[in-house]
Amino acid sequence: MVRLLRGTLLQFRHDPFLGPPEDALQVEEDGAVIVRGGCIESVGPYDALRARCASDIPEDDHRGCLIGPGFIDAHVHYPQLRAIASYGEQLLNWLERYIFPEEARFADIRYAREIARSFMDELLRNGTTTAAVYCTVHPQSVDAFFEESSHRNTRMIAGKVLMDRNAPEALRDTARTGFDQSRDLIEKWHGNGRQLYAVTPRFAPTSTPEQLDAAGKLLDLAPDLFMQTHLLETKAEEEWVRALFPRRSGYLDVYDHARLVRQRSIFGHGVHLTEHDRHHCHDAGCAIAHCARSNQFLGSGLFDLASAKQASRPLRVALGSDIGAGDSLSLLRVANESYKVAQIRGHKLHPAQAYWLATTGGAEALHLDHLIGAVQPGREADLCVLDPRATEISARRVAHATSWNDVLFALMMLGDDRHIRATYVAGERVYPSAP
C-alpha cells in the first residue's frame, strides 16, 4: 500500500532541551510524506515529491494541518478506562476504593476484550499510536489487549501486572505464578508483529522482595524487554516503601536491588526523586513517565521537569496520561497540564519541548527512536495529523499566531481530541475510520 500525505510537516533539528528550543522545530509548510509498506519512504516539499512519484499514487490532502509523528503515551492503564474520574481520594485509598474492584472484573476475558477495544479506539482518536500499557494481574487481560493491538497493527508495549501482597486476594499472584505466567506471555507476544512486552510489577508495596527478584530474572529471558512500574508518586507511598523495605537505602534502591533499573525501564511519576536518584536514572538509561494530569488529579505533587532535564545529566522523560488517575487520553491535554505544573514551579515549558516529549523525545526515552517518533524515511509510518483550527476558539487564536512555535503552543493550550484530524498506523489511516 502506497500513499502520499500532503500538509505542513513537523520535524526536529535537535533536542529542544539540549539546544535552543526556539530553533528546534523544522517546518515544511507545503510538505509531503510518501508511505509505502508501513514505513515512511520519503519526505520533502510537496511539489518535488509529487513530481517524482507515479501520478496514480493516492493523496490525502491535509493542507492547513500539521503532520507529525503519532503521540507516544509512556504510562497508561487500559483496565482503568471505566474508573476514570473517581472522586475524592489520594493514591492509596483511590486504589483500594475504586481501582482494585474494577481491575478484578478483568478475570472475565469478554470484559477485558470489550474494554481493550474501546481503549484502542480512544487512543487512536487522540492521535496516540504507541503506549506503554498496564494490564491487570490476569494473563487473559494481556491476551485481550495484545489481540486487539495486533488486529490494528499498532506498536504497543504491555504486560501483566505482578502483585503478590497488599492487594485483594482476587488480584494476587505469587512470585512463582507471576513469573511463569509472564514468561508464557513473553514467549507469546514479545516481538510478535509490532507487540512488545513489559515486565510489570505494579509498585514496590504490592510485590514481595522475591517477586521483584523474579521480575529481574524475567528481564533476562529475551532481548529488548521493557520493565514498567511506579516510583515516588506520593509521600505516603514513599513512607510505606521505607517501612516495607527497611534494608534498602530508598525507593529506587528497592528496584535497583532487583536489577530493575536499566535501559527500557519506565518509571511512572518520579514526583519525589532526589538528586541522587536523578544521577542514577541518567546513568542507567531508564525513563521517567511524567504524568502531570494524574499527579494533579490525585494531589500527588509537582514533577520537577527542569531538574530532570538538566543538561549536565538529562533524564529520558516521556509523557504519560496515566488513565484512570489521569483524566484524559489526549497528550495535548497532558502537555497543557505539564506546562501549568512547570509554571507553578517557576519554569517555562516551551511548546517545542512539550511536543518533543510527546513524540520524538518519548520514542528516545523508550529506546524506540530507531523505529518510531519521527517523520523521517525508514521510520514506521505512525502519524498524527493535527488541525490547529478545529474549534472556533483555536481558529481565532491561531489566526494571529506569530510563529509555528506559537501555533503549537495554542494547540497545546486549547487542543484536545477535536484537534486530531487523522491518525495513521503503519501507513494506514485508522482514524477517522472509513464510512
**The one among 99, 137, 331, 410 contacting ligand GUN by CB under 6 A:** 99
> 207-236: which residues touch ligand GUN (CB under 6 A)?
230, 233
Check the CA dihedral 355-333-325-80 and report its sign.
Answer: negative
Query: Total residues contacting Zn ion (rule CB under 5 A)?
Result: 2
Partner whose binding site includes residue 127, from Zn ion, ligand GUN, none (CB under 5 to 8 Å by kind): none
Q: How many residues does the chain have?
A: 435
**How many Å apart are CA 392 and CA 369, to the nearest integer?**
35
Least gap, CB of 146 to ligand GUN (angstroms):
20
Least gap, CB of 99 to ligand GUN (angstroms):
5
Burial class from Cβ neighbours inside 10 Å (0-12, 13-18, 19+) for residue 268 reads buried
**How many Å apart are CA 314 and CA 73, to the nearest integer?**
20
**How many Å apart are CA 104 and CA 95, to the nearest integer?**
12
Strands (E), 13-156: 25-36, 39-45, 59-69, 71-77, 128-134
> 318-337: which residues touch ligand GUN (CB under 6 A)?
322, 325
DSSP codes of every residue in 214-276: HHHHHTTSSTT-EEEEEES--HHHHHHHHHH-TTSSSHHHHHHHTT--STTEEEEE-TT--HH
Least gap, CB of 84 to ligand GUN (angstroms):
12
Question: 316, 288 in Cβ contact below 8 A?
Answer: yes
Among the listed ranges 4-12, 106-114, 268-276, 335-343, the one in contact with Zn ion (CB under 5 A) is 268-276
Among the listed ranges 167-175, 322-330, 354-362, 387-395, the one in contact with Zn ion (CB under 5 A) is 322-330
Partner whose binding site includes residue 91, from Zn ion, ligand GUN, none (CB under 5 to 8 Å by kind): ligand GUN
For Zn ion, give the closer residue by CB, 103 or 148. Answer: 103
Q: Please state the φ and ψ torsions of residue 111, each to the nearest 5 degrees.
A: -65, -45
Least gap, CB of 59 to Zn ion (angstroms):
41
Question: 308, 315 in Cβ contact below 8 A?
Answer: yes
Least gap, CB of 75 to Zn ion (angstroms):
6
For ligand GUN, give the closer residue by CB, 28 or 233. Answer: 233
For ligand GUN, give the closer residue by CB, 164 or 322. Answer: 322
**How many Å apart are CA 73 and CA 256, to the nearest integer?**
24
Least gap, CB of 268 to Zn ion (angstroms):
5
For Zn ion, give the closer residue by CB, 8 or 295. Answer: 295
Which set of grid coordinates corresponds to residue 325?
Answer: 488517575
Least gap, CB of 92 to ligand GUN (angstroms):
8
Least gap, CB of 161 to ligand GUN (angstroms):
8
- Asked whether position 322 contacts Zn ion by CB under 5 A, the answer is yes
Which set of grid coordinates corresponds to residue 238?
Answer: 514513599
Question: 267, 231 in Cβ contact below 8 A?
Answer: yes
- 44 upstream amide cis, omega within 30 of 0: no
Partner whose binding site includes residue 203, from Zn ion, ligand GUN, none (CB under 5 to 8 Å by kind): ligand GUN
Partner whose binding site includes residue 202, from ligand GUN, Zn ion, none (CB under 5 to 8 Å by kind): ligand GUN
Least gap, CB of 117 to ligand GUN (angstroms):
21
Which set of grid coordinates corresponds to residue 280?
Answer: 542514577
DSSP codes of every residue in 286-308: -EEEE-HHHHHHTT-----HHHH
Taking CB positions, which residue lies at the least distance from ligand GUN? Answer: 325
> 145-204: which residues touch Zn ion (CB under 5 A)?
none
Least gap, CB of 230 to ligand GUN (angstroms):
4
Among the listed ranges 4-12, 91-99, 248-256, 330-338, the one in contact with ligand GUN (CB under 6 A) is 91-99
- Asked whether position 202 contacts ligand GUN by CB under 6 A, the answer is yes
- Asked whether position 203 contacts ligand GUN by CB under 6 A, the answer is yes
**The one among 31, 268, 361, 362 contacting Zn ion by CB under 5 A:** 268
Give SS3 for 42.
strand
**The one among 149, 265, 294, 423 contacting ligand GUN by CB under 6 A:** 294
Partner whose binding site includes residue 364, from ligand GUN, Zn ion, none (CB under 5 to 8 Å by kind): none
Nearest to 118 by CA among 329, 385, 289, 420: 329
- 432 upstream amide cis, omega within 30 of 0: yes
Interface residue list for Zn ion (CB under 5 A):
268, 322
Interface residue list for ligand GUN (CB under 6 A):
77, 91, 95, 99, 202-203, 230, 233, 294, 322, 325
